[in-house]
Chains A and B, each alone.
Chain A
Amino acid sequence: KQEVTQIPAALSVPEGENLVLNCSFTDSAIYNLQWFRQDPGKGLTSLLLIQSSQREQTSGRLNASLDKSSGRSTLYIAASQPGDSATYLCAGGESYNTDKLIFGTGTRLQVFP
């Protein structure tokens, strides 16, 4: 059974730091990977999707990479800001014929001024 681990579980950093959030899968057979942001009491906002044919995606200060051989993904946040404070979730898709996602339990990030 596929399980997803996100490290660290929580992170508190001063504004301006560059951050790395990690996500690993017990089964490296990940088809595609999506990173989400969740604010307290709110829904999930899609940040980046790494499609099956891709190894990384970038959007503004965010860069996500996926190493299928090891079953690991990394989300890099450059020049963090207090507005980045949220929980970050990674989720893997297992196959081309299903949109089901397997979620990690998240990294809770706090960026203080």
Chain B
Amino acid sequence: EAQVTQNPRYLITVTGKKLTVTCSQNMNHEYMSWYRQDPGLGLRQIYYSMNVEVTDKGDVPEGYKVSRKEKRNFPLILESPSPNQTSLYFCASSFEKRPSRSYEQYFGPGTRLTVT
């Protein structure tokens, strides 16, 4: 089954304790992104990657790191989590539809993170 998977699905941690949220897709998509969803703010892009070893900042990158060593995996790293990073996180992957050059995004099930 074509899908985007994330782990863990739920995580409660304390301020300053490094954590990693994993993301994997089995659709051979080149593009991957991380979003966070907050009430009243909608989904906002944190980081994105256009291919292996190619990553760039989205709209809210502060406090996050990513890496793209393999095409299928795109982990999100919080080096020193803070309470304002409590949120619902989504990983997404997409491919380019030709000839329109539009992208259709597929989302993972989400990771609910609470930082106390």
Please indicate whether A and B come from the same complex rather than being unrelated chains.
Answer: yes
A interface residues with partner B (beta carbon < 8 Å): 4, 31-32, 34, 36, 41-46, 49, 51-54, 89, 91, 93, 96, 98-101, 103-106
Scan residues 77-96 of chain B and give those whose CB is less than 8 A from a CB of chain A. Answer: 90, 92, 94, 96
Kindly list chain A residues whose C-beta atoms are within 8 Å of the C-beta of B42: 4, 89, 103-106
Partner of A99, one of B33, B99, B109, B110: B33
Partner of B94, one of A42, A44, A89, A99: A99
Total chain B interface residues with beta-carbon distance under 8 A: 28
Complex CA–CA separation, A4 to B41 (angstroms): 10
Kindly list chain B residues whose C-beta atoms are within 8 Å of the C-beta of A93: 102-103
Question: Per-position contact with A for B97-116: 1 when CB-CB < 8 Å, else 0?
Answer: 10111111111111000000
In contact, A103 and B43 (Cβ under 8 angstroms): yes
In contact, B109 and A100 (Cβ under 8 angstroms): no
With contact pairs A105-B40, A105-B42 given, residues A99 and B100 touching in the complex (Cβ less than 8 Å): no
> Does any Cβ of A come within 8 Å of B31's Cβ?
yes
> Does any Cβ of A come within 8 Å of B48's Cβ?
yes
In contact, A96 and B101 (Cβ under 8 angstroms): yes
Kindly list chain B residues whose C-beta atoms are within 8 Å of the C-beta of A45: 107
In contact, B100 and A51 (Cβ under 8 angstroms): yes
Complex CA–CA separation, A103 to B45 (angstroms): 9
Kindly list chain A residues whose C-beta atoms are within 8 Å of the C-beta of B58: 100
Shortest Cβ distance from residue A54 to the other chain B in the assembled complex, whole angstroms: 8
